[in-house]
Chain A
Amino acid sequence: MISAARRRLSVYAALFGMIPKMFMAYQIWFWVGLVLNIISMAILVFFWRAVYADTSTISGLGLNQTITYIMLAFIFMPLTSSDLVWQFGSDLREGMIIHQLLRPVNFQAMNYVQMLGGLISRLVWQLPMLFFAVLLFDLRLPTGFSTWLAFIVSALLGFTVMFYFNWFLACFTFYTTEIWGLGVLIEGMTFFLSGALVPLAMMPEWLRTAVLSVPFAQALAVPVGLLTGITPLSDAPRVWLVQILWIIGMWIASTLFFRVAVRKITVQGG
């Protein structure tokens, strides 16, 4: 029993380990991406400084707090990553999904560890950004151990919420096989609704309610809120609980949808 579980764990660990290797296959992206990201971040910082030119607080948030939030949200954007739709789409289009389904491992678990591998790789790639943010824009990182712990737990939970949510959305590609529109739509929605552009506290009440009724913010605004102190640390257990409820709901919805969708599969070509 234990040896079977250990064997299964080692399979998933191996699947997980493939991803950083694939990232390393295209090193040139790293440098191009880094330059682009620094420019984008500079634009965001200057924008918010301009907004705060005539005022010291907006919705209770000071300039430093807002800029810290914006920079951290930018750096931790990979938490929301919506690769699944693209991956399902291209796997279906090229017929690769057939080999994925023919692996003698749980298909969803296999994808989860691979997405997790992708997340960790991306976050490692973002580390230089953290360095530049501290150096150029005077980012001050929290030092408290419990703050980081609360953040990491919340980030993992939020990532898992988005994984199941994206899984649910990706099932649509089994029906449409047309993914470009869906993929772009999800990316745009993720950008706005995850809280990457504007802190949730600045949104009007009705908009904040709307944003919190879809899962995107769980992966970014919520954990980064804990990290920046916008959400007090004492709220962490409540925040986690809400995230766990999201996971359960999304897990049920995505599993049911997938079970139906996979029957629709028509591997193209050949």
Chain B
Amino acid sequence: MSVIEVKQLTKVFKIPKKEPGFGGAVRGLFHPQYENKTAVDGISFKLDRGEIVGYIGVNGAGKSTTIKMLTGVLMPTEGSIKVLGRNPHKQRVDNARDIGVVFGQRTQLWWDLALIESLNLIAKIYDVHPVKYRLMLNQFSKTLGLDELLKTPVRNMSLGQKMRSELAAALIHEPKVVYLDEPTIGLDLIVKERIRDFIKAECISKGMTVILTTHDLGDIEELCERVIIIDNGRIIYDGPIDTIKKRFGKFREITFETVEQVKTVHVPEGAELLSTDDRKVQIRFDRTVSTASKVAGAVMNQIEVRDFSLSEPDLADIVKQIYNGALDREGQ
């Protein structure tokens, strides 16, 4: 049986056109004027127990709206959702007991209080047995480095510290289903790494079903085997990450900063010269054919290089290309 089952899910927001001031608000109560905006447009998917799915798309694609409907706080306009056999909107409180949620952009912790106070209360609300709770705290102390944070008020934490605290708060009751909405947003590489390791250790190894939204392909590559890509509220791809990786993940770009202006450079097989201007040389290469050291070595043999950097294609590009039918073309 699927843990999450979504059928033809649609959400249309009626966005009120606002007049300013209290008078406007009161007028708005009696003569409201609305615009319709379809945030999620007839999506369907199923998730099995233990599956971890990357749910990706550009800003405003409808990711967060979907997550909010899955948690039960937002009522779908049309379509149906079953999470662990329940309707999350109708059975919001029962559903809440079995899920854990992290919203990267807002906190569920008590802003003014030390983290341990929030965790104590959350453990109580979710009825975590005291022995179990102590065990989890110890475990989180190791995996998330919480020790130093327990006595710190949340308002005094850095973004990375806050996110680690959020994850602890969301998973302390070992939920069956976890929604992670941009858990790595704005974090540095070291914290990201730590959070990915934590998700692996806590969610994947314990068989939780996870939906992860992110703008970081690295998150997806490391954690997910399946991705769902949405754009304009519709699913444009649902399948293994490997397909995406093969098509888009094989390219890398190297940018060289040169001492003198260079007109042309000879590049090895599998690489392609993109541009040479303003003392910058941009080269794209296929990881399956060549390597970064081959390309860099060849270039450095020819010209004096001051500095260089390596970059991956970014998600917005990929989504755009998929939307334009890049995957279909690949298949043919």
- Chain A interface (Cβ within 8 Å of chain B)? 7, 10-11, 14-15, 18, 21-22, 25-26, 94-99, 101-106, 172, 175-176, 178, 180-182, 185, 263, 265-267, 269-270
Of A102, A104, A175, A266, the residue contacting B29 (CB under 8 A) is A175
In the complex, the answer to whether A104 meets B93 with C-beta atoms within 8 Å is yes
In the complex, the answer to whether A105 meets B113 with C-beta atoms within 8 Å is no
* A-B CB contact pairs (8 Å), 30 listed: A7-B127, A11-B125, A14-B120, A14-B124, A15-B121, A15-B125, A18-B117, A25-B112, A25-B113, A25-B153, A96-B106, A97-B73, A98-B68, A98-B71, A98-B103, A98-B106, A99-B101, A99-B106, A101-B72, A101-B73, A102-B101, A103-B96, A104-B96, A178-B22, A181-B21, A181-B25, A265-B73, A267-B68, A270-B106, A270-B181
Q: Which residues of A contact B151 (CB under 8 A)?
A: none
Nearest chain B CB to A54 CB, angstrom units: 42
Nearest chain A CB to B67 CB, angstrom units: 9
Whole-angstrom CA separation of A34 from B74 in the bound complex: 43
Whole-angstrom CA separation of A178 from B153 in the bound complex: 30
Closest to A185 in B: B22
In the complex, the answer to whether A176 meets B28 with C-beta atoms within 8 Å is yes
Whole-angstrom CA separation of A106 from B29 in the bound complex: 28
A270-B64 contact in complex given A21-B113, A99-B108, A104-B125, C-beta closer than 8 Å: yes
- Whether B126 sits at the interface, judged by CB under 8 Å, is yes
Of B25, B117, B125, the residue contacting A103 (CB under 8 A) is B125
- Chain B interface (Cβ within 8 Å of chain A)? 13, 18, 21-22, 24-25, 28-29, 64, 68, 71-75, 92-94, 96-97, 99, 101, 103, 105-108, 110, 112-113, 117, 120-121, 124-127, 153, 181
Whole-angstrom CA separation of A99 from B124 in the bound complex: 16
Whole-angstrom CA separation of A270 from B74 in the bound complex: 13
Q: Which residues of B contact A22 (CB under 8 A)?
A: 110, 112-113
Whole-angstrom CA separation of A178 from B112 in the bound complex: 25
Residue of A14, A22, A102, A106 ringed by the most chain B CB atoms within 10 A: A102
Closest to B75 in A: A263
In the complex, the answer to whether A176 meets B13 with C-beta atoms within 8 Å is no
Smallest CB-CB A-B distances: 3 pairs: A181-B22, A25-B112, A99-B108
Q: Which residues of B contact A21 (CB under 8 A)?
A: 112-113, 117
Of B18, B22, B93, B120, the residue contacting A105 (CB under 8 A) is B93
In the complex, the answer to whether B113 meets A18 with C-beta atoms within 8 Å is yes
A270-B25 contact in complex given A26-B112, A98-B73, A101-B92, C-beta closer than 8 Å: no
In the complex, the answer to whether A11 meets B124 with C-beta atoms within 8 Å is yes
Whole-angstrom CA separation of A98 from B124 in the bound complex: 19
Whole-angstrom CA separation of A266 from B117 in the bound complex: 29
Q: A104-B126, A178-B22 are in contact. List 17 more A-B contacts (CB 8 A).
A: A14-B124, A15-B121, A18-B121, A96-B107, A99-B101, A101-B73, A101-B92, A106-B93, A175-B28, A176-B28, A181-B25, A182-B25, A266-B13, A267-B73, A267-B74, A269-B106, A270-B103
Whole-angstrom CA separation of A172 from B28 in the bound complex: 11
Whole-angstrom CA separation of A75 from B205 in the bound complex: 57
Q: Which residues of B contact A11 (CB under 8 A)?
A: 124-125, 127
Q: Which residues of B contact A172 (CB under 8 A)?
A: 29
Closest to A98 in B: B73
Whole-angstrom CA separation of A95 from B65 in the bound complex: 12
In the complex, the answer to whether B112 meets A14 with C-beta atoms within 8 Å is no
Nearest chain B CB to A189 CB, angstrom units: 14
Whole-angstrom CA separation of A97 from B24 in the bound complex: 24
Whole-angstrom CA separation of A80 from B181 in the bound complex: 39
Nearest chain A CB to B258 CB, angstrom units: 43
Q: Which residues of B contact A104 (CB under 8 A)?
A: 93-94, 96-97, 125-126
